[in-house]
Every structure is written in C-alpha cells, then in structure tokens.
Structure 1
C-alpha cells in the first residue's frame, strides 16, 4: 500500500530527527568550547573595571606600579583619568630592563646614570608613553586581521598614536585542529619607524590580555618579549643622552 503524504512526511522527520539532534548538540558544545577558549586566551573573563584607567593600573601594583609613576612624571594623570582612550599597557619590566640597559651606556659616556625615574625628563616619558596610547575606545573586535605570511591580503591597519607616532595594529587568527584562522585571536601592535617605508623594521609587541574596560576606555596589556620601552630603544637612548649633555 502506498504511504500517504502525511505518513511519509512523519517518517522522514522521524528518520532525520535523532541524527539532527546529535549533530546540533555537538555543534553547540563545540561552539561553547570555542567561545570559552577565546575568552580565556583574550583575558576577558572579567573585563569591566569599576574605576578609571589610572585607577586600574594603580590597582595592579605588581604589574604597573612603575608605569603609574611614569604617567605622573609625564604629567598625564588627567589624561588617563578623564579622556576616552585605548592603552596598550607595557608592564613594569619594560621600564626596568630599559634602564638596566641604559645605565652602562651612560657610564661609558661619563654621564649621570638613572637612579630614579625622575632622572629622565618629563617630556621624554610623555613622548614614549604616548606611543602606547590612542584616542577613543577600541576592543579586539574593532581591529582588522593581520597575517604576516599574507601581509598584502591581511595587513592590519595603521593608526596614529596619542602623539602622532604611526603604529600598525592587527588581530592574528590562530589555527585550530589544522584549520586556518579557526583558533583564538590575539592582538599585536607594531611601531613603524619610517612611514615612507611602511613595511620595514617594525618593532612591536603582543597583547597578553585584551579588552579590559575601565570607565574611560580600553586596556590591552602587553607581554614582555624583550622589546624595550617605547618600541625603539635607539630613539629613547638618543633622547636621554641629548637631555644630559
């Protein structure tokens, strides 16, 4: 006997029902895992900070006590308290290692070494601190993709910093299970020393935690990878030397 239309429809639905539920369930689990992994890698488990950007840095003295002092010496406390900003925050090790390298070179030139942070002029601190600072709020999702192997296709994007230095910022899409661009995402920032040669001699850093949100902006914290404060140590060194002569 031929199967009636309704019976056939019900049979087809019953046939596909169980596999569909299983597949849908697996997709939901995989999606949840990917999201959880992304948030951990992005450092966004608790992104909201109840206070301004300077207060956030001061609340993490182990990582940012020296940076908070540099902000004060640079005369930028009100900037970090009140202006809407995105800050790629170097931790204190960037400063310590820079001074550790700088002092032997100052001795060689018979110049006074750096004993306190105040031994470096405020305008120098302001110049190099401002390279990490951008007007407006930008979270990870606001930046373009960058792939250093396919830089013409995925070039990131160039931005002017707070003091008009030019930096490239982009998001690296990692691979997952052998699938390109399916993994977690991480921000990278690179100083461009000569804008007439925009792809040459990039000097940068990688974000360890992204999208921390104090009341007046966004903080992306940088991981120490050996790059000294200000991205370009030679620039910093020359400015300090000149200021002491």
Structure 2
C-alpha cells in the first residue's frame, strides 16, 4: 500500500493537470481536418519559428513534454530533432508515465525489486529505441497521408512506413462522416505500430493536435488518454528490465560527475 501511496502522491497533481489539458485536446482533436492546424481547441498559425526540439522544450504547458525532452537529451538524440527533416508523433509525459508505472509495478510485485524513481534508471539505449518509433524520416502533414478506414482496411489501408528505428509503422487519416454523408466530416491522423502487415494487426495511437510545423519537419501530438509509451507497455518493461535498471545511487553519481565536468569545461 505504501508503494501505491507514494506513486499516487508523485503523479496525482501533475497527472491531473495533464489530464485536464488533454481532455480539451480530445474534444477538439476530431476538428483537425483539411489543412487546419488545431491545438488546445483553436486554429492557429501552424508554423513554429524553431526546430522540433525547440518546440518541445518551449511548449507553454511544461507538463506535456518535460520528461520527453529530458529523455531525448538522455538518449543522445538532440541532433535527430534539430537537424534532419522528420515527422514526429510526440507522446506526452502522461503516456511515458503509463509505461514507467507499469514497469515499476512489474519490478516491485513480480521481481521484488525497487520501483523506478528516476527516469534515468532506464538505460539510454532503451529510451533511444522506443523514442525512435515515433520518428518518421521526411515531412508528412495531414494532407500528405493516405486515407485509413478501420472498418474497410482493404479499401483504405493508410500507408506503410518505417520509423527511424526500422520498425514497421502505419500512418493513415480517418475520415469521419458528417450529416449522413460518408467521409465528409472532420479528419484525424492515426499512427500505428504494425505487428503484422498481412493481417493488419496494429496498435493504434490517435493524434490530438496535428500539423505543427517547425523548421525541420512536422509534429503531431498523440492523444495520451489511451496510449502507452512504446505502444506496448509490456514490451517496454521487458526491454528495460533486460537491459538492466540502473540503481538510483548510480544515476546520482553519474549526474554529479557530469556537473563536475561541465564546471571544468566552463572554466577552460
């Protein structure tokens, strides 16, 4: 019970703030149609004066991407988000917490080991592997993505792509009906990890905000309410455990060494 109380105290306020903001996004997400840029319930200029990484770092609501940005740095992926042209399906911090909390429960109850108290206890190579699933080389706005009908996949299958990590992914735009007219309504991007292209066995992630366009690509923000970071939280947990969870003391020791090195470099 103590574990759950601590876990609840850690995330309750933060998660409520993320949840409240995402509820607004969820209600507005279906309105992301044609070339409209939609974020936080309204249309805005889709162009952002900076890189993809700049956008994530400077997002006005720090509860959305603070952990995501920290893990991009930790995984050594800054250049991916600053240089090459990419399409990034951005998972929120809430999605990250879903998978990390599951990992902690697995460690605590199944293996009788300490839960994860710092995201850096999960090794950088694990973060890099799963973050890369959300990156597609090239720029794909909503208008560039083929139609997907989940009830008629053979007719409208979306498009098959490979992520930066070489994982099979599917991008598609769902066309909703309007006033009884099929496909005449709002449009929404669906990004999926493909377990099997032949059977179209996919794990789906709906986009809440689309077509945010920094200098080096486009950002589509994934709706967090039913998305686990890495698409499959059990696979994420297995990979993290298999790579070895760093002791908290080791993380703090490395952090201290980095600070000392930085101070020495600044003096030179």
The answer for the alignment partner of 2:67 in structure 1 is 66
Cα distance in 1 for residues equivalent to 2:50 and 2:143 = 23
The answer for the alignment partner of 1:238 in structure 2 is 238
Cα distance in 1 for residues equivalent to 2:33 and 2:239 = 43
Check the 8 A contact 2:122/2:244 in 1, yes or no: no
Q: Is 1:222 equivalent to 2:214 in the alignment?
A: no
Q: Helix, strand or coil: the match of 1:182?
A: coil
Cα distance in 2 for residues equivalent to 1:150 and 1:36 = 22
Check the 8 A contact 1:86/1:138 in 2, yes or no: yes
The answer for the alignment partner of 1:114 in structure 2 is 116
Q: Report matched runs for 1:143-158 at 5 Å.
A: 143-158=145-160
Q: CA deviation at 1:66?
A: 0.8
The answer for the alignment partner of 1:171 in structure 2 is 173
Q: Helix, strand or coil: the match of 2:195?
A: coil
Q: CA deviation at 1:99?
A: 1.4
The answer for the alignment partner of 1:136 in structure 2 is 138
The answer for the alignment partner of 2:253 in structure 1 is none
Normalising by structure 2, what TM-score? 0.73
Cα distance in 1 for residues equivalent to 2:44 and 2:35 = 6
Seen in structure 2, the aligned counterparts of structure 1 residues 112 and 171 have a Cα distance that, compared at 3 Å, is same
Q: CA deviation at 1:39?
A: 5.7
Query: Aligned match of 1:189 in 188, 191, 213?
Result: 191
Check the 8 A contact 2:32/2:209 in 1, yes or no: no
Q: Helix, strand or coil: the match of 1:193?
A: strand
Q: Helix, strand or coil: the match of 1:190?
A: strand
Cα distance in 1 for residues equivalent to 2:122 and 2:32 = 43
Cα distance in 2 for residues equivalent to 1:204 and 1:129 = 16
Cα distance in 1 for residues equivalent to 2:126 and 2:144 = 30
The answer for the alignment partner of 2:82 in structure 1 is 81
CA displacement 1:157-208 (0-9 Å, x = unmatched): 110000100011100111111100111111001101245x4412x1121111
Q: CA deviation at 1:45?
A: 2.2
CA RMSD of aligned residues (A): 1.9
> Number of aligned pairs?
209
Moved over 3 A (4+): 35-44
CA displacement 1:9-51 (0-9 Å, x = unmatched): xxxxxxxxxxxxxxxxxxxxxxxxxx99756674452201001
Unaligned runs of 5+ in 1: 1-34
Cα distance in 2 for residues equivalent to 1:233 and 1:166 = 17
Q: CA deviation at 1:230?
A: 0.5
Normalising by structure 1, what TM-score? 0.80
Q: Helix, strand or coil: the match of 1:127?
A: helix
Q: Helix, strand or coil: the match of 1:181?
A: coil
Cα distance in 1 for residues equivalent to 2:37 and 2:182 = 17
